Structure 1
């Protein structure tokens, strides 16, 4: 019986209805709500982590850029927790879907671009034609800069999708090999199991790094337009 490698990337359904919305809402339910009356180590760790994110992302922003602090913090927490939950057995990772990642990247990118054209109109248009460009190269350079601008959200979404999907596929392949080798060669199975554990540890780091990279790039786009 051949196993489909991409079965784990198919959107799960209940009675024929997709439940991806419920899955994407699950990470937000796992974070405890801070309260003046209830405080514990988990809430303190959450607050410390949030402050560290804000300090890192908002260090170079002006007053207008810092109004995005709640959005960027929510974004990195959502992507990071979704990536981590996807590493659990019999789970589904929404960030392996290019459509979902595009749904996050395009509105955020468009909001930063619109903000730039609204508050820094001259500077935004100046990006399409750097000073000192030779006259014959002006049309070509404007086309290239326009394409590079519109390809930014696609690059954001593809980067996140490719990194998460590649890691999950590799874990799936090594896990299947370990299971098959268990009855054939226990020694080889133990080696592949060690590799699987090491890869899982690496994927934990990748899940957090990719969430940080996605949010950091959005923050950089915002910094250029505020």
Structure 2
């Protein structure tokens, strides 16, 4: 029995062994493996159609050199999407509610985009730190502010994903607890609470999909600035 609503976000343990790695690798088993045949089944066709549509839509505003990231961004999208959706099932764990996991994905990928910009176009990358026409006295202050805003980007990526998923899971937990309490005391109120819980579950399903897309989309915009 849980002693706190936040216990659902703790890393699962089995006989004292953390199961975080299994929770992150298990969703990959749910995706079908592509075959060497010319024609695949309906599930493979749907998967290939989704990957092709998402990749084209994501790389539309990105310059041609940034298209080398297509495989990385598509894999990241599928990875985040599967983790977010898997966490909505009963008796499961959502690794993306852990800030350490999200920052572990956001910081290296963001740093890679910055290093690409510094290598390919160093003058343009450094020019982003100082707007054109800045007065001489404001130059040090603006450089510090722009540097801080640049460093906050990966933190914002990780915190946004963590906060949205954590808030949704907490609301579902709170409303479901109220539903079971009201079920024996006030059945009519329990019906309305159950309808609210159903609508919130649908909303959380949409949030899980949207947040995975937003994470990858913002990363692609950071890439666009540096290629």
TM-score normalised by length of structure 1:
0.98
> Aligned-pair RMSD on alpha carbons?
1.1
1:33 deviates by: 1.1
Q: Which residue does 1:30 correspond to in 2? A: 30
Partner Cα separation in structure 1 for residue 136 and residue 29 of structure 2: 57
Q: Which sits farther off after the overlay, 37-46 or 52-61?
A: 37-46
Moved more, 108-117 or 34-43: 34-43
Aligned residue runs from structure 1 range 68-147, under 5 A? 68-147=69-148
Alignment of structure 1 residues 168-187 onto 2, 5 Å: 168-187=169-188
- Segments of 4+ moved more than 4 angstroms: none
User: Once the 2 structures are TM-superposed, how far is the Cα of residue 2 of structure 1 from its aligned partner?
Assistant: 7.6
- Where structure 1 has 5 or more consecutive residues not aligned to the other structure, the ranges are none
Q: Could you tell me how far apart the structure 1 residues matched to 2:167 and 2:71 are?
A: 30
Please say if 1:222 is aligned against 2:206: no
* C-alpha distance in structure 2 between counterparts of 1:56 and 1:63, whole Å: 14
- The number of aligned residues is 226
1:124-178: CA deviation from partner (whole Å, max 9, x where unpaired): 0001111100000000000000000000000000000000000000000000000
> What do the CA deviations read for 1:184-221 (whole angstroms, capped 9, x no partner)?
01100010000000000011100000000000000000
Using structure 2 for the length normalisation, give the TM-score.
0.97
Structure 2: give runs of 5+ residues left out of the alignment.
Answer: none
Superimposed CA distance per residue, residues 90-119 of structure 1 (whole angstroms, 9 cap, x where no aligned partner): 110000000000000000000000000000
* 1:17 to 2:20 alignment: no
Q: Take 1:29 and 1:23, find their aligned partners in 2: how far apart are those partners?
A: 11
